[in-house]
Structure 1
Amino acid sequence: MSVPVFSRDAVLEAVSPQDAYAAVRNAFIAHHRGEWVMQPKIYVTNYPAGDFRAMPAIGGGHALLKWVTSFPGNPALGLPTVTGLVVLSNSETGQLEAVLDAASVTALRTAAAAVLAADTLGVENGPSVAVVGCGVNGAETVRMLVAHGRTPVVWDADEARRRFVADQFGAEVAGSLDEALARDAVVTVTPGRDVLFSEGSLRPGQHVSLMGADGPGKAEIATRELGRARLFCDDWEQASHGGELAAGVAAGLLARDDVTELGAVLAGAAEGRADGEDVTLFDSTGLAIQDLAIARAALLRSVEMDLPRLEL
């Protein structure tokens, strides 16, 4: 038995930004309807260095396990922050079907979720959009936006990195962090060590996709600022324990009824933005069902590609 092995470049070749967007959208809906199932991610920690995460999911005839890391200090050592593998199996027979690079799968589904949330919850008629954080996931978000006909402004604490990403994808560099944070729609993809939106900083009509704070102790927005917005998340169980919302829950500022899952909005079972003055926040913790969506999309293209194979 042999199975295809997808490197980083192979994943990105197999799954276009448009395909990733559609696949992740369908996964959100399937998860809301109970057709795709997952457990909250399991953290194996080695703080302050970083953590390992195990993420299982099943749906659409396949089962998946992602073993992935987050080590924020790695870039200073010349190493990537995120590494790992995605293993895709047939859910009817248990047979292994593909092995994929986890970082590229993560980048694609993170970008897709960020842009999908902005499209669904942001104001209409193509608002101005910014991406703050130009690491691997932030860069993929810029690529996703450009592929969907948007020209974002970008910001990163590293000037060379923000200029490189802007030049690579045809985006624009913001004049300052404050300029980027003032856009109609903002996607934050930072390590989550520093609060970007302080108390009172959100403005009427703004949408923010908070993609960076996906673990304990991370935050891209002040906790009390959560009370000024309509709140959405990818999955309540995960977000209430390990996302931006966790601090609000711990402080007694919000509960389950205060937060709507994006899948419910996409399925037509819940309301998104009510009017142009709403402030909407999407808290993303990253879901295994999103990884499953990307892995399935890649598998569909495997027969057309000359991929190395793992002999079992």
Structure 2
Amino acid sequence: MDTSSEALTQPHQILIVSEDACQKVIGRHEAFQAVESVFSSMAKGSAYNFPVVREAIGHANALYGFKSGFDREGLVLGVKAGGYWPGNVVQGRTNHQSIVALFDPDTGQLKALVSGNYLTAIRTAASSAVSIAHLARKNAKVLGMIGAGFQSTFQLHAALEQRDFEKVVAWNTHPEHLTRLADVCREHNLPFEAVSLQALGSQSDVIITITSASEPLLQAAWVKPGTHLACMGTDTKGKQEIDHRILAQATVFTDEIDQSISIGEAQHAVTARILSAEQITPIGEVINGLHQGRQSEQEITLFDGTGVGLQDLAVASAAASLAEVRGLAQRVTL
């Protein structure tokens, strides 16, 4: 009997994990653990990202692409597909739209489809939070926020859990959106102040940039010694949030060096030849104890968070497992 055709048509089940289910099972703690763990695996060489595809599609001013990778330790294989639609916000939708497909690394079969919008926001916030946990001064008191878009509140909530901040200062292109951050600070009983970019730089011990800027917002002369910067918005060629000279003044860390120098904040400093790839350290080396991280109270540290596919796969895998256990995922037969 020829069973080859039967094998080809043998049905299998996949999990469908909705946006609502992701929000119920993945909080800041779960996201932090997943991201920190995968950064550690990347530094060990047991997890790696595949080349990123990210392009302007020539419609709706949208950027669309794919991020993928494989974690041998966690046996997580998959791809995130999605992008950035800047016009969505006026329609009441999230600008970032994505979905994660997880595959069985033993068979190649599709295992799960996981909604990626909320997970993108919380894993990006977890990434900057990991950098603050490992690189910011222990006595950091003032947090500066540059950007007040959808992801900014995720960033702020996560950052406030890493240090005993006493004040938050912020700047945004459209100042009226700063109310989002002010509301978060009110929840935490923290003083909040809208300030100029120069004032933000002079006051802040930790600065998070989370914008879609294509020219520097923060100048090198405005950043004081001992500051930790988490630059989270630059993930495409041509984007830029800060003066590239800041990277020459700082000890630079990143999620993945290849992305940092090609599509991250470091692309501009490398092009200007004031920074080389050899001067950038994967943050996983700090997590694993292979690099000291911050070496003095006066040192400026910078985390170039480009957003790697393995981050998405890590939180999506955790969401799929937790949603299945809690009966929040739908099973579909293919």
TM-score under structure 2 length normalisation? 0.86
Matched ranges for 1:277-292 at <5 A: 277-292=298-313
Q: Find the partner of 1:63 among 77, 81, 84.
A: 77
Residue 211 in structure 1 maps to residue 232 in structure 2: yes
The number of residues matched between the two structures is 312
Specify the code of the residue in structure 1 equivalent to 2:27.
Answer: S
Structure 2 vs 1, CA of residues 305 and 126 (structure 1 numbering), >3 Å: closer, same or farther? farther
What per-residue deviation string (whole Å, max 9, x for no partner) do you get for residues 236-260 of structure 1?
1011100110111111111122111
**1:272 is matched with which residue: 273, 281, 293?**
293
Give SS of 1:174's match. Answer: strand
Between the two proteins, what is the percent identity of the paired residues? 27
Residue 57 of structure 2 is matched in structure 1 by 46
Bigger mean CA offset, 165-174 vs 192-201: 165-174
State the shift of 1:154 in Å.
5.6
Q: Is contact 1:133–1:154 with CA below 8 Å preserved after alignment?
A: no
Query: Does 2:168 correspond to 1:153?
Result: yes
- For 1:231, the aligned partner's letter is V
The answer to whether the Cα contact below 8 Å between 1:17 and 1:147 also exists between their aligned partners in 2 is no
The answer for unaligned runs of 5 or more in structure 1 is none
Counterpart code for 2:278: D
State the alpha-carbon separation in 1 of the partners of residues 140 and 243 from structure 2: 27
Aligned to 1:225: 246
Q: 1:40–1:237: 8 Å Cα contact kept in structure 2?
A: no
Which residue of 175, 179, 189 maps to 1:163? 179
Moved more, 287-296 or 3-12: 3-12
Q: Does 1:240 align with 2:252?
A: no
Question: Relative to structure 1, is the Cα distance of residues 106 and 116 closer, same or farther in structure 2, using a 3 angstrom cutoff?
Answer: same
| CA drift at 1:78 | 4.5
Shift in Å, 1:147: 4.9
Once superposed, what is the RMSD of the aligned Cα atoms? 2.2
Once the two structures are TM-superposed, the CA of residue 280 in structure 1 deviates from its matched residue by: 0.8
Alignment of 1:66-105 (within 5 A): 66-76=80-90, 78-105=92-119
Aligned counterpart for 2:44 among listed residues 33, 49, 54? 33
Structure 2: gaps (5+ residues): 1-11
Cα-to-partner distance string for 1:3-62 (whole Å, 9 max, x where unaligned): 332222321211110111011101000111111121131113236913112111111112
TM-score by length of 1: 0.92
> Does 146-155 or 224-233 show the bigger shift?
146-155
Distance in 1, Cα, partners of 2:327 & 2:130: 28
CA distance in 2, matches of 1:280, 1:148: 16
Retained in 2: the 8 A contact 1:67–1:85? yes
Larger radius of gyration: 2
Instruction: Report Cα offsets for 1:178-222 as digits up to 9, x if no partner.
Output: 344431011111112342211312110000000011111111111
Q: 1:21 aligns with which of 7, 10, 32?
A: 32
State the 1:165 CA deviation.
Answer: 4.0
Contact 1:234 1:287 in 2 (8 A): yes
Alpha-carbon offset, residue 80 of structure 1: 2.6
